Amino acid sequence: MPILLVLICAATGIPLLALWGDGRRGAALFIGINTLTLLAILALSARVLRDGAFTAGSGQFMVDDLSILLILVDGVVGFSTAWFSRSYMRQEIVHWSLSRRRVRLYHAMFQTFLTTMLLALLTNNMGILWVAMEGATLSTVLLVSLFRTAEGLEAAWKYFILCGVGLAMALFGTILLYFAAQKVLGHGADALLWTHLEAVRRQLQPQVMAIAFIFILVGYGTKIGLSPLNNWLPDAHASGPSSVSAVLSGLLLNVALYAVLRAKVLVDGALGPDFAGRLLMSFGLLSLLVAAFSMLRQRDVKRLFAYSSIEHMGLATFAFGIGAPLASFAGLLHMISHSLTKSSVFFSVGQAVQSVGSREIQRIRGLLAFSPVLGWALMLAVLFILGMPPSGLFLSEFLIITSTLQDQPWLTPVLLLGLGVAFAGIFPRLQGMVFGPAPEGIAHQPVAGIIPVFIQLTLVIVLGVFIPWTLVQWMQHAALLLHG
């Protein structure tokens, strides 16, 4: 019942926003819908807290300790983004003179995206998971090209084709999964239900599962932004509105990684932990390195942080690849903290870009001088994303390095190199952006839009200093689930 409530809250928003999603009422409606969804998600968490994992709708929907964590993050970031979007889009509408129809399209597509993300996390059916991921891709294509600039169109086209092809691979993997499942579970609708598959995962054909997992990893890996399939990610992040970049980085990448993790649990049962683990570790480490070195030569601030998302997702993927409960725990903590922090980074960067009127790092100067609130927001968010204590990312990176030292000691230097280069790529630029005198001719912006940054960063501190016991338990259970 609470599952259905969450989905209904989110889904009814789509037609409402398509009809009335413009002007002041549109932004207010958008916030209202996401507040309700967040409340429904909190109710759902309370239920999970009381009863533990459960399925609903004759097994089609499922919540467990792994998914509830990401659903909560979805709720929080969805709400913050709606809040940020109100003041941010008010400026953008004026700047690009967007028509009322275009604004309705923006809100409706945004809500569709948030709904499909929730559906992906709540469904128990690996096929529907794919359908939801594809839906999320489709709904964001027109958001990336919202401003109809040449650059935006190119980015959106690239996004559409690359992710479309990637997801086609994931669908092939899902078909193969069904092919393997049929032999054990028989023909029919139940053979793709994750809970059923998990129960029989040791009996699934190893050869088929191996090939299925490779397709699923490559497919969803395109969406996670794993190197070398990450080509679309920086373009799409840079060209779209910052509110869209925030949810692309904060939510979409997580959900894609979640899909891979679900498949990993199944393939571990069939093949033992090494096969999937090694693949995840190598993809993760490669992405970390490629992204870290790419950051050094970025001039566009949004591209810079898009590469930072690839780096962090690579790190999380690597952690899940190690597979030890501690590493998986750290990976989950990393995913959650990264979502909250990176969306905050994009909120503040979005606001800064709006004030300065350029995405070039060189031209963003002295933010602290002309808008202390914005300057502090950006500085804290970026320091947190760099893994400074007391951020949750500090704790998770520390744990990841610790468990690497334990399980794969010879990979530790590579890991540290990646993290070091990433630090060198971002930190010097941060100094330039926040300190120094303010340049002339800067438009002052209302600061109400970046309030969620401080709320989210407080949550990240909580994750880094004192994780609530409930969350620890959920993450421990989820880590054990991933351990097999």
Instruction: Give contact residues for another protein (rule: CB under 8 A).
Output: 60, 125, 127-128, 130-131, 134-135, 138, 141-142, 145, 148-151, 153-157, 160-161, 164-165, 168, 171-172, 175-176, 178-179, 182-183, 187-189, 191-192, 205, 207-208, 211, 235, 294, 297-300
Place of tokens 């959650």: 336
**With the C-alpha atoms ordered 361, 363, 366, 370, is the resulting torsion angle positive or negative?**
negative
Q: Closest distance between another protein and the C-beta of residue 131, in Å?
A: 3
Using the CB atoms, write b or e for 132-152: b if 16+ within 10 Å. Answer: bbbbbbbbbbbbbbbbeeeeb
Q: Which residues contact 233 (CB under 8 A, 6 or more apart)?
A: 225, 248, 306, 309, 310
**What's the rounded Cα separation, in Å, for the pair 415 and 477?**
26
Name the helix (H) or strand (E) containing 300. none
Nearer of residues 140 and 355 to another protein, judged by Cβ: 140
Smallest distance from another protein to CB 270, Å: 13
Please, what is the minimum distance in Å from the beta carbon of residue 286 to another protein?
18
Query: Residue 142 Cβ, how far from another protein at the closest point, in Å?
Result: 6
Q: How far is the CB of 148 from another protein (least distance, A)?
A: 6
Nearer to another protein, 68 or 236 (CB): 236
Compare residues 214 and 319 and give the one whose CB is closer to another protein.
214
Nearest distance, CB of residue 350 and another protein, angstroms: 19
CB of 189 to another protein, least distance (A): 4
Gap between the Cα atoms of 257 and 273, Å rounded: 17
How far apart (Å, rounded) are the C-alpha atoms in residues 397 and 382?
Answer: 15
Report, in Å, the least distance between residue 141 CB and another protein: 6
Q: Which is nearer to another protein, 120 or 457 (CB)?
A: 120
Q: Which is nearer to another protein, 95 or 299 (CB)?
A: 299
- From CA 111, how far away is CA 11, in angstroms rounded? 8
Q: Which is nearer to another protein, 112 or 344 (CB)?
A: 112
Closer residue to another protein (CB): 175 or 411: 175
Cβ pair 190, 59 in contact under 8 A: yes
How far apart are alpha carbons 298 and 303 in whole angstroms? Answer: 7
Eight-state DSSP code of residue 387: T
Amino acid at the residue 304: L
**Other beta carbons less than 10 A from residue 178's beta carbon:** 17
The percent of the chain in helix, strand and coil, each rounded to the nearest 5, is: 85, 0, 15
Nearer to another protein, 181 or 374 (CB): 181
